[in-house]
Chains A and B, each alone.
Chain A
Amino acid sequence: MTTNHILTVENLSTRFQTPDGEVEAVNNVNFHIDPGETLGVVGESGSGKTQIFLSLMGLLAKNGTSTGSVRYKDKEILNLRSRDLNKIRGVSMSMIFQDPMTSLNPFLKISRQMTEVLVEHRGMSEADALKRAIAMLDRVGIPGAAQRVHMYPHEFSGGMRQRVMIAMALLCDPEVLIADEPTTALDVTVQAQILDLLRDLQKDFNTATVMITHDLGVVAGLCDRVMVMYGGRVVETGTVRDIFYDSHHPYTEGLLKSMPRIDRANEDSMFAIPGQPPNLQNLPTGCAYQERCGYVMDRCCVERPLLKGFGDGRASACFREDGQ
């Protein structure tokens, strides 16, 4: 099986051992990423969207284990020793997080944190590495990069810190950039700047990007393909148009309807998905969405709908597709 996917994920499952029992955070997830595309991963908190990517980056919490297969090009990388993983992680695949402060060392200057990677992985000299770091900071829109590279993380504002993170992630020309809610902690005007920047950078570098977010607005503006997660499983995949204009899964539909929209005056009340997000420790038999679904059938409560493809990368996990 030869493919030109950069990243292929097959049957990925991630479990956590907790004092209250085993929790299956990610369940049998399959997807792939092609060069230059942007994949949106949408879901609520606890849907497993972040855990997928922490698993494949080898960043799971200690009580977590993953099974399945993750291939970077043709190399299996799941559960690799961290020494081997480090040749890929941060070099060919980078990840940026919601809170940049958690991934920046507050006691080191930005210059030091940026050049370290280049010197180690690229064998660059300190001087060249610094030049590249400055060029990269300049590229992500940090004014006065040559001076500011010598500052400490806390001297930057939230938006600027996220820019620094993006610059650091792009230093080694990664082929995959995983962005986990990169704009959630930012103000809307700054969010717009960062989203513009990500769009621009993708054009320039042709990096495959994964955008993990709960904000469908961000997905609409940025992504090519979308994967919707619920209760640790993928419930629907498709192109951004498919998802937004022709959604098949009731959860996707509900999510879209319940998003408040700034461009529309509202009716009497907002559409709301009833009920609470599922408790992963205590998932019902059958479909995880059954308790909140408007189309629920008897079958949904006994049997779990599998993700079923229907052409062109479209798939949905719902019995409604069976034409019942």
Chain B
Amino acid sequence: MTAMTAPDKRDNAPILSVRDLKVHFPIPGKGPFAKDRPLKAVDGVNFDLFPGETLGVVGESGCGKSTLGRAILQLIAPSGGQVAWLGKDIVGIPHRDMQPLRRDLQIIFQDPLASLNPRMTIGEIIAEPLVTHKPELGKDEIKTRVKRMMARVGLLPQMINRYPHEFSGGQCQRIGIARAMILEPKLIVCDEPVSALDVSIQAQIVNLLQELQREFDLSLIFISHDLSIVRHICHRIMVLYLGNVMELADRDSIYAAPRHPYTKALISAVPIPDPEIERNKERIVLTGDLPSPLSPPSGCVFRTRCPFAQEKCATDVPTIDRVSETQEVACHFHDSI
């Protein structure tokens, strides 16, 4: 475990600070004259990200994790709050000022094939960020750099003129990573980068991301619903539920001693590939489904599925409490359960 300790935060200023970030989508009301209702996809998220660190964002579908990733990159306009990139708020800044920053902010997508333009060769795909941000580079220089990056991510450079559909899912994801890495960015938002891949390929991609992180001192925001993958790649983990942070802690604390009932349930629900352990482990089974984000429960948003919910949970919104140096929890009863 020693090889993967988180970078020491105290020495560094955060590369990214997110404060009270909100993304509300207007949903047309019923009837022609009804008012729009807000869908609170992300509702007041706070965190810092340090250089060279990987932050895992986990939660079930509809918890707002993908929206959060896109709001940080300003691909979706936040409705409120701050995203400070290297100390400067980038929410709502003009398009012109945002463009140069995009060089340092990249994204990798879930569906490897869908994230590549089927009509372009992979050379053109990987070169696009270079052509956009460094138009002064000559054609040969661009080609050399593309080939170098292809080799770095484990693709044969002579495949440069091939098209995405000629590659397998894992190779397409490598192409996506090469495109994201070609400008040597400081932050990559990875939106479920391995969920669509076969088990035997997932580990390859995770290892590649970790190697690149070490080599280029990258910060990663790793969005995933798979808590076991997250355990292997992330230094800190943020658990989201209906757009709210339930728990934010470093990896070892959250897996060894989860404090929020939702985190506990999530972790205990993940099947373990070991019959002995899987059949005898203790589980917290949540009942029911995710409530509609259009009408989230009052008080604590998790209370309708929480096995420990009490009256207070319906009335008071829990604040995020720091329970230790490395762990923050949003639950009224984190001490007693």
Q: Which residues of A contact B (CB under 8 A)?
A: 44-45, 157-160, 187-193, 195-196, 214-221, 240-241, 244, 254-256, 258-263, 265-274, 276-277, 279, 292
Taking the nearest CB of chain B, how far is it from the CB of A236, in angstroms? 15
Chain B residues with CB below 8 A from A255, complex form:
199-200
Chain A residues with CB below 8 A from B151, complex form:
none
Interface stretch (choices B41-49, B68-76, B261-269, B322-330) = B261-269
Q: When chains A and B are docked, how far (Å) is the Cα of A241 from the Cα of B278?
A: 12
Taking the nearest CB of chain A, how far is it from the CB of B220, in angstroms? 15
Contact of A217 among B4, B204, B278, B283 (CB under 8 A): B278
Taking the nearest CB of chain A, how far is it from the CB of B122, in angstroms? 15
Contacting pair A159 B285 (CB below 8 A): no
Contacting pair A214 B199 (CB below 8 A): yes
Q: Assuming A262-B231, A272-B200, what are 11 further A-B pairs, CB within 8 angstroms? A: A187-B60, A188-B227, A214-B198, A220-B278, A241-B275, A261-B228, A262-B267, A263-B272, A269-B207, A272-B201, A272-B204
Chain B residues with CB below 8 A from A267, complex form:
1, 3
Q: When chains A and B are docked, how far (Å) is the Cα of A276 from the Cα of B198?
A: 10
Supposing A188-B60, A190-B289, A217-B270 touch, asked if A277 and B199 sit within 8 A by C-beta, the answer is: no
Chain B residues with CB below 8 A from A215, complex form:
199, 271
Q: When chains A and B are docked, how far (Å) is the Cα of A258 from the Cα of B206?
A: 11
Q: When chains A and B are docked, how far (Å) is the Cα of A258 from the Cα of B197?
A: 13
1/0 per position for B1-40, CB-CB distance to A under 8 A?
1011000000000000000000000000000000000000
Chain A residues with CB below 8 A from B270, complex form:
188, 217, 262
* B277 CB-CB contact with A under 8 Å: yes
Taking the nearest CB of chain A, how far is it from the CB of B83, in angstroms? 27
Chain A residues with CB below 8 A from B289, complex form:
157-160, 190
Q: Which 6 A-B pairs have the closest CB atoms?
A: A217-B271, A272-B203, A187-B60, A216-B273, A192-B269, A262-B228
Contacting pair A258 B273 (CB below 8 A): no
Identify the closest chain A residue to B267 (Cβ). Answer: A262
Contact of A270 among B170, B203, B290 (CB under 8 A): B203
Contacting pair A276 B275 (CB below 8 A): no
Q: When chains A and B are docked, how far (Å) is the Cα of A270 from the Cα of B231?
A: 11
Contacting pair A44 B266 (CB below 8 A): no
Contacting pair A271 B203 (CB below 8 A): yes
Identify the closest chain B residue to A199 (Cβ). Answer: B279
- 7 A-B contact pairs sorted by A residue (CB < 8 Å): A45-B169, A188-B270, A189-B285, A217-B271, A259-B199, A263-B277, A270-B232
1/0 per position for B150-174, CB-CB distance to A under 8 A?
0000000000000000001111000
Contact of A274 among B204, B225, B267, B279 (CB under 8 A): B204
Identify the closest chain B residue to A223 (Cβ). Answer: B275
Contacting pair A192 B285 (CB below 8 A): yes
Q: When chains A and B are docked, how far (Å) is the Cα of A259 from the Cα of B201?
A: 10
Chain A residues with CB below 8 A from B268, complex form:
192
Q: When chains A and B are docked, how far (Å) is the Cα of A215 from the Cα of B210?
A: 23
Contacting pair B207 A272 (CB below 8 A): yes
* B202 CB-CB contact with A under 8 Å: yes
Chain B residues with CB below 8 A from A279, complex form:
168
Q: When chains A and B are docked, how far (Å) is the Cα of A174 from the Cα of B164?
A: 44
Give how many B residues have a beta carbon under 8 Å from the other chain's beta carbons.
50
Contacting pair B269 A191 (CB below 8 A): yes
Identify the closest chain B residue to A269 (Cβ). Answer: B207
Contacting pair B168 A192 (CB below 8 A): no
B 288-305 contacts with A by CB, 8 A: 289-290
Taking the nearest CB of chain B, how far is it from the CB of A128, in angstroms? 30
Q: When chains A and B are docked, how far (Å) is the Cα of A271 from the Cα of B273?
A: 15
Supposing A188-B60, A262-B255 touch, asked if A219 and B207 sit within 8 A by C-beta, the answer is: no
Q: When chains A and B are docked, how far (Å) is the Cα of A210 from the Cα of B278?
A: 19
Taking the nearest CB of chain B, how far is it from the CB of A122, in angstroms? 32
Contacting pair B60 A216 (CB below 8 A): no
Chain B residues with CB below 8 A from A219, complex form:
273
* B140 CB-CB contact with A under 8 Å: no
Chain B residues with CB below 8 A from A240, complex form:
275
Supposing A262-B228, A277-B200 touch, asked if A269 and B210 sit within 8 A by C-beta, the answer is: yes
Taking the nearest CB of chain B, how far is it from the CB of A44, in angstroms? 4
Chain A residues with CB below 8 A from B199, complex form:
44, 214-216, 255, 258-259
* B97 CB-CB contact with A under 8 Å: no
Identify the closest chain B residue to A215 (Cβ). Answer: B271
Chain B residues with CB below 8 A from A258, complex form:
199-200, 202-203
Contacting pair B278 A221 (CB below 8 A): yes
Taking the nearest CB of chain A, how far is it from the CB of B235, in angstroms? 12
Taking the nearest CB of chain B, how far is it from the CB of A38, in angstroms? 12
Taking the nearest CB of chain A, how far is it from the CB of B34, in angstroms? 21
Contact of B3 among A217, A268, A292 (CB under 8 A): A268
Contacting pair B60 A270 (CB below 8 A): no
Contact of B273 among A241, A244, A265 (CB under 8 A): A244
Contacting pair A261 B273 (CB below 8 A): yes
Q: When chains A and B are docked, how far (Å) is the Cα of A139 from the Cα of B274?
A: 29
Q: When chains A and B are docked, how far (Å) is the Cα of A156 from the Cα of B32?
A: 26
* B61 CB-CB contact with A under 8 Å: yes
* B114 CB-CB contact with A under 8 Å: no
* B212 CB-CB contact with A under 8 Å: no
Identify the closest chain B residue to A257 (Cβ). Answer: B203
Most chain A CB inside 10 Å of its own CB: which residue of B60, B231, B269, B275: B275
Contacting pair A261 B198 (CB below 8 A): no
Chain A residues with CB below 8 A from B267, complex form:
262
Taking the nearest CB of chain A, how far is it from the CB of B92, in angstroms? 33
